[in-house]
Chains A and B, each alone.
Chain A
């Protein structure tokens, strides 16, 4: 397992880009709890205006991807929308972000993808699908798909 201090250094290196990305997005705010190694992004659903908290649990990052979760009121999750020219939504019917950059999508964590070669393969897994190699890239992907989500359920 990657020492926490290594993860902390990786997050410190990426955090300026994360805050700059959020600053360019009205309605988004990010915060980082260095004690628990959890990055939070707070926003609202663009259609329903319901508050949403997005969390990335970063233990082991960058050897393994973050464990991303999205939580709305009463444990709701964004429903999938369609972006023209994009093959599908990252919001999986199993109520998880289905992406190679989400640890929870891998079979070893109960996710639907035992076929991606394991979580340590995350930067090259799922070729042709959503790609996010940094925390800001991942947040960008979440925002892209959230923008067309028809609601929360």
Chain B
């Protein structure tokens, strides 16, 4: 499909026009969003009843972002990673983008140290 995107004069509505069809996209002007290279995730940690929201670079590894989240929740040491709501434990060596993490996703902080 070909079309053209034109910003509305007010700056908060864009209109995509094609023959016989017009698609308007309204953008909440005042809502803060992470940049293209960032994503926002909601992290739940076992030791805290309430989740916390983090903004990470998409190129940041699961290992580093989970460490940041773990530190914020007060974890010391260990091998933190993220588990998705579908109970998939993310590969710590992948970036968040490579691991398929999407903006607004809920992730569970887990330790992947393993058994002995």
Interface of A with B (CB < 8 Å)?
A: 14, 16-17, 19-21, 24, 80, 83-92, 98-99, 105, 113, 124, 126-134, 136-137, 139-141, 144-145, 147
Which residues of chain A are near B81, meaning CB under 8 Å? 85
Residue of A nearest to B115 (CB): A90
Interface size on B, as a range, is: 20 to 34
Residues of A within 8 A of B115 (CB): 80, 87-92, 98-99, 129-130, 145
**B49 contacts A129, C-beta separation under 8 Å:** no
| Interface residue from A83, A91, A99, A126 paired with B89 (Cβ < 8 Å) | A83
Give the residue of B46, B49, B50, B87 whose beta carbon is less than 8 angstroms from that of A147: B87
Known: A21-B46, A24-B44, A136-B46. A89 touches B114 (CB 8 A): yes
Instruction: Give the complex CA separation of A139 and B89 in angstroms.
Output: 16
Best-buried of A83, A99, A126 by chain B (most CB within 10 Å): A83
**Binary per-residue interface labels of chain B (46-60) against chain A in the complex, 1 for a CB within 8 Å, 0 otherwise:** 111110000000000
Interface of B, secondary structure class, is loop
Name 17 extra pairs, CB < 8 A, besides A86-B112, A130-B114, A147-B87: A17-B47, A17-B48, A84-B89, A84-B91, A88-B114, A88-B115, A90-B115, A105-B116, A124-B77, A129-B113, A129-B115, A130-B113, A131-B113, A132-B111, A140-B108, A144-B89, A145-B115
